[in-house]
C-alpha cells in the first residue's frame, strides 16, 4: 500500500481549477519532492493531503480518506509560516504540544537535538531567527513520530550548512520508515529527493524516481529535466 494515492483529484477555488484531475502515488519510506514554481498548486495539494482542503475525487493516506480522524497521529505537517507561540520558549512550546499529543519528555529532548536547537531551548521563540523558528515547527511535527511528514518549503531561510543537516535528517527518517513529502520551488532541492512529483499549473508532469527522470530526459539536473519535460509536453500538445 502506498503512503499517498490520488485518483482523479481536483480542487477548485473561486471557480478556478487549481488541481486538475490528478493521479499520483507516494511510496512509503521515501523522501518525495513536490516540486514546481510558485502558483503551481503545491500548497493546495499539501493541504489536501493533510485533510485541510475540500476536494473532488479520491485521495487516500495509508488507505484511508485524507482527513480521517484515524490519521491524526500518523500525519505531521510543517507549514511555510512557523506555527508556534512566540511569547514562550522553545522548550515550553514543545512541552505544550507534547502534552496535547500525550508524548513523554524524552521525545522533547530528542527532537530538540534533531533540529539542532539545544543552545536555544530556553529562548523565547520571538527572539529566534526565521530559520530557527522554522526548526521549532519541525520539532513539533516530529514529536509524535508521524508515519507521514508533510513539509511546505521547510528549508527557506536556512543557511547551507543547516540545510545539509536538515536534508540528512530527512533521509535518516526515511530509512527508519517515515514517508516525507517535501514541497519546494527550488530545483536544487529536488536533486536531494528519492522520488519526485513535478507540478505545473495544477497538472502532474512527473511522478517517479529522480533517476528515471534524468534517464528519460537525458539531463544531469532536475531543473534541466523539468524544462525538458515542459518542452516535450508543449511539442506534443
**pTM of the predicted model over 0.85:** yes
Residue pair 78/138 in contact (Cβ under 8 Å)? The answer is yes
**How confident is the prediction for the chain on average, in pLDDT?**
91
**Cell numbers describing residue 58:** 479520491
In a domain, 19, yes or no: no
Q: Where are the beta strands (DSSP E) in 179-236?
A: 179-184, 195-200, 203-209
Q: Which of 79-83, 128-132, 228-232 is the least confident region?
A: 79-83
pLDDT higher than 60, residue 11:
yes
Cα distance between residue 149 and residue 179, in whole Å: 6
The answer on pLDDT for 235 being more than 60 is: no
Asked if residue 223 is part of any domain, the answer here is yes
Mean pLDDT of 113-123: 93
Residue 234 confidence (pLDDT)? 61
Q: Is residue 14 part of a domain?
A: no
Number of domains in the chain: 1
What pLDDT band is residue 215 in, cutting at 50, 70 and 90? very high
Query: Within a domain: residue 61?
Result: no
Q: Is residue 69 one of the residues assigned to a domain?
A: no
* Alpha-carbon torsion (6, 223, 194, 33), positive or negative: negative
Residue 228 belongs to some domain of the structure: yes
* Domain interval for residue 89: 27-46+75-236
Report the Cα 10 to chain-centroid distance in Å: 19
In this prediction, residue 39 carries a pLDDT of: 87
Output the domain CATH number for residue 118: 3.40.50.300
Q: Find the mean pLDDT for residues 80-86.
A: 86
Q: Is residue 32 part of a domain?
A: yes
Q: How high is the pLDDT of residue 237?
A: 44
144 in a domain, yes or no? yes
The band of 148, judged by pLDDT with boundaries at 50, 70 and 90, is: very high
- Least confident residue range of 23-27, 159-163, 210-214, 218-222: 159-163
Amino acid at each position: 500500500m502506498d503512503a499517498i494515492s490520488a485518483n482523479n483529484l481536483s480542487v477548485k477555488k473561486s471557480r478556478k481549477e487549481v488541481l486538475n484531475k490528478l493521479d499520483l502515488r507516494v511510496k512509503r519510506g521515501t523522501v518525495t519532492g513536490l516540486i514546481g514554481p510558485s502558483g503551481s498548486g503545491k500548497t493546495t495539494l499539501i493541504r489536501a493531503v493533510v485533510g485541510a482542503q475540500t476536494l473532488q475525487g479520491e485521495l487516500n493516506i495509508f488507505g484511508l480518506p485524507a482527513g480521517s480522524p484515524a490519521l491524526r497521529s500518523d500525519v505531521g505537517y510543517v507549514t511555510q509560516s512557523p506555527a508556534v507561540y512566540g511569547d514562550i520558549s522553545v522548550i515550553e512550546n514543545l512541552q505544550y504540544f507534547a502534552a496535547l499529543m500525550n508524548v513523554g519528555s524524552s521525545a522533547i529532548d530528542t527532537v530538540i537535538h534533531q533540529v539542532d536547537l539545544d543552545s536555544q531551548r530556553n529562548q523565547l521563540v520571538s527572539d529566534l531567527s526565521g530559520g530557527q523558528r522554522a526548526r521549532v515547527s519541525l520539532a513539533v511535527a516530529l514529536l509524535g513520530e508521524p508515519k507521514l511528514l508533510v513539509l511546505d518549503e521547510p528549508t527557506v531561510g536556512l543557511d547551507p550548512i543547516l540545510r545539509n543537516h536538515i536534508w540528512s535528517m530527512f533521509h535518516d527518517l526515511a530509512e527508519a520508515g517515515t514517508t516525507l513529502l517535501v514541497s519546494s520551488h527550488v530545483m536544487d532541492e529536488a536533486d536531494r529527493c528519492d522520488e519526485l512529483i513535478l507540478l505545473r499549473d495544477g497538472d502532474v508532469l512527473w511522478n517517479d524516481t529522480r533517476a528515471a527522470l534524468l534517464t528519460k530526459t537525458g539531463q544531469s539536473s532536475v531543473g534541466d529535466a523539468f524544462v525538458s519535460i515542459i518542452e516535450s509536453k508543449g511539442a506534443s500538445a
